[in-house]
Amino acid sequence: MAETKSTFYSLLLTRTQPNKDLPEISDFAYLIFIRQPGAKQASYIIAQANIPTATLVMIESEISAGSFPDYQLQIRHVKNDNENLIYSAYVKFILPKNYNQNKAGTTVKGTSPTIPVQFLLVNPVIWDMNTNNSFNRTFNDKKYTALEILELYLSELIMKKSKISSWIIGDRTTTNKTLYNQIVIPSTITELQVPEYIIGAYKPYSTPSLWLFDNFTFPFDDSEKKAIKNGELPLMGILLNFYNALENFTKQDISKDADIKQFTTLLKIIPYSDTLSFLSKPNAVVSFKNTTNMTQVTQLFGNLPKVTLTDNTKETQSQRVTSLEIEYTDNLEEAEKRIVDCVDLMQKQINQIEIYETINTSPEWLQFGYLYNLERDKKTGNNLNRYIHTPISIFNIFLRQEQTIGKMEHIIKYAMLRLNDKAIASGREWICDKSEQLNGTCNKTDCPHYKNHTKILTECPDNKDIQCPYNKFKHAKCK
């Protein structure tokens, strides 16, 4: 996956309607795919390139007339003089709002062959969705849950738009069971904003979810790879719910790739804590307020609080002093489930956020919805085979290679959720999760990990030397 100096990427931006009088754009300083579920509804591209003067004059005149020109972006992987088209997509060319101020003093009248310009590239389907009205439905045949309504929206969208796929990743046992016979979305909400609105207003899962329309998702499945022609990746609608992610996200093994180990750097660690103590109140008095019928119910969570005295002993208090107010529109049972599951997710399942950078690497190996065994032993550098990292933000950066025109290297900067390792966090022996049982990672005949989804034995049965499925321990005694 690493790239040597004899390996590089070439970028080309051409008009969808060819014009021999308008040169192509190929001299890029950088091009970055911004992929941030939750923060943005869709991925987009920011770039800087030296644009031929004639081409820039035409772009400016088109945008001044209210029309954003259509281009095709192509990315080729070049190795030993052999080119491979890995990405091809149609895009809208957009100049930023501060473009006129930034180009002050620059004359675009043929006085120079090219002019450095910063610009945005947006998928045309995304552009259209941002200008279309929203999604309102009345269901006469049956009632639907919020997640089912989101799936209906996606199925209609896929029928209307070509080359769109969807992927919903989450624990289906934690979906909101409330049924609706209609869904009402404000007219100010565009087609692009509908998934985020459904997630916020109707809450498909008991814990928060992130959404993104992503146009830089490379498939791992061989059949899906074959379906991609000429680098045309489908626009992927992705919903991420991180509750019980260790059991529900797909594992992607990177332990055999020494290049990721060599070229990956941990840049920053961000503690994941409830700084305002909204959720870390196990002794809270919680008021549930139904904003639809204006009813209110008070519930107690946890035991009475304890305080630490000067002699380091703890004393139980006689009353609860904290409180939390929860508003809901569906039903009390779902509201109670949300607060319990959110506390569990924030306090027990998520450890921290880690910012990484991997240089000289290919773009396809890091994708949303996967667990990565990024953890390594600090002394030996060996991979610990603990699948506890999943990305929540990815920047794919194509950067000019040592100021060489037309040659780009690829860097990934990404934020990872570091999940709590269930074996270490619980202080107990490892328990196989559902995905390992399903995939047969544990030996069904001998390995005590597999049997009945229970704690492993203290010693290997019948003195057998059973290899731990995580390649971390010699025997089945995983402590």
Give the model confidence (pLDDT) of 216-235 as tens digits: 988 777 766 776 777 788 88
Q: Which runs of consecutive H residues, i.e. helices, occur in 249-301? A: 258-263
- Give residue 187's identity as a one-letter amino acid code: S
Angle at 189 between CA 295 and CA 32, to 5 degrees: 120
Is 371 a residue whose pLDDT tops 60? yes
List residues bridging with 210 in a β-sheet. 240
Q: pLDDT band for position 81 (50/70/90)?
A: confident
For the four alpha carbons of 436, 439, 442 and 445, in that order, the dihedral sign comes to positive
What per-residue confidence (pLDDT) applies to 262?
Answer: 86
**Across 113-122, average pLDDT:** 93
Say how far apart CA 34 and CA 13 lie, in whole Å. Answer: 18
User: Regarding predicted confidence, which is higher, 180 or 4?
Assistant: 180
What are the contacts of 153-161 at 24+ separation with CB within 8 A? 153/194, 153/195, 153/198, 154/195, 154/237, 157/191, 157/237, 161/125, 161/128, 161/129, 161/235
- Percent residues over pLDDT 90 in the chain: 46
Determine the pLDDT at residue 150. Answer: 93
pLDDT for residue 339: 85
Q: Which of 195, 182, 92 is nearest to 134 (CA)?
A: 195
Residue 293: is it exposed, middle or buried by C-beta count within 10 angstroms (0-12/13-18/19+)?
exposed
Chain position carrying tokens 């049965």: 461
pTM of the model: 0.80
Does residue 447 have a pLDDT over 70? no
Q: So what's the pLDDT on residue 444? A: 36
Cα gap 88→18, rounded to integer Å: 16
Name the residue with higher pLDDT: 417 or 159.
417
Structure tokens at 431: 């328990």
- Of 308 and 350, the structure prediction assigns the larger pLDDT to 350
Tokens of 229: 């022609």
Phi-psi category of 440—alpha, beta or left, where left has phi over 0 and alpha has psi -120 to 50? Answer: left
On the question of pLDDT at 307 being above 50, the answer is yes
Please say if the pLDDT value at position 429 is more than 70: no
